[in-house]
Amino acid sequence: MTQLKTLIKIELEKIIRKKTTFWIAFIILAIQIAAAFFEHSERMASDDLGTGFQVAVFSLKICLQLLALILLVLSSMTLSEEIATGTAKLILVRGVKRRDFILGKFIALVYVSTVLVVFYHLVGILLGHFLGGLVAIREGEFLLFSAADLFKGFFGGMFLTLCAVVALVALGCFVSILIKGSGGAVGTGLVIYFFMQILSQMDLFQKYLFTNYLFLPIDNMAKLSEGIYVDWARYFWWTVGVSSASALAFLLLSILLFNKRDVWH
């Protein structure tokens, strides 16, 4: 366990030291802010001011779509790059277990992913507060949803999004071991991701693919912010179950594959 904690700490330091990590996070933040102001200006032009929750959800959905691609790219490179450069060999020769080597990278990526997802959700709430106000939704004198209801839906959706993001990171780690070379791993990861997104639109497969649940929470929040009732319990167990099973499957496959991988030549 001590070895695993050390590996996680090292991986986190590697990610934090990379300037590209902060630049990417800043660019996504800038796009999120721009999207929020665009949505607000469009609503003002059409005399449909709505609420700040609608602005928050619109900007956050664009942000999450970009973030998903970035996290997939980062996780797809995490092992393929070190295997190709020989860094993995240097680490393993020091007695580090292959299982811990993979878990250290995976958990570090999950930490970073969690921080980013939570951060952008909080930014979305702040943008909504200043651009429309986080108020209740009414139809005339009738209260559809209170601000408390909307907050519960927003942060409940954030939790469900995190579940699917963990599965996405696990997919990237699996691809990074499956394909030699970071370029090939990234390309393969993106192809698999978009293929799964296409399958997610089909009734036969959508319930069983974690990609279906990546943006489902924010889509449901968009409905809620427009005054449409959402049965969150209907999606909760499917999202948690499918995402957890997918993450576990990809992680186990990664460990099994890496145990058989020859990193010495």
Per-residue pLDDT tens for 123-172? Answer: 999 999 998 888 888 777 788 888 898 999 999 999 999 999 999 999 99
Domain that holds residue 124: 7-260
- Secondary structure of residue 144 in the 3-state scheme: strand
**H or E segment to which residue 143 belongs:** strand 142-145
Select the more confidently predicted residue: 28 or 234: 28
Domain assignment of residue 113, yes or no? yes
- The domain total for the chain is 1
pLDDT 10s digits, 162-201: 999 999 999 999 999 888 888 889 999 999 999 999 999 9
What residues contact 99, with CB distance under 8 A and at least 6 apart? 255, 259
Domain assignment of residue 184, yes or no? yes
The answer, yes or no, to whether residue 265 has pLDDT greater than 60, is no
Question: Residue 94: its pLDDT value, please?
Answer: 77
Helix and strand numbers, DSSP H then E, in the chain: 10, 2
Domain assignment of residue 95, yes or no? yes
Question: Residue 93: its pLDDT value, please?
Answer: 74
Domain assignment of residue 265, yes or no? no
- Secondary structure of residue 137 in the 3-state scheme: strand
Domain assignment of residue 90, yes or no? yes
Question: Residue 172: its pLDDT value, please?
Answer: 95
Domain assignment of residue 1, yes or no? no
Q: pTM to 2 decimals?
A: 0.92
The answer, yes or no, to whether residue 264 has pLDDT greater than 60, is no
Domain assignment of residue 44, yes or no? yes
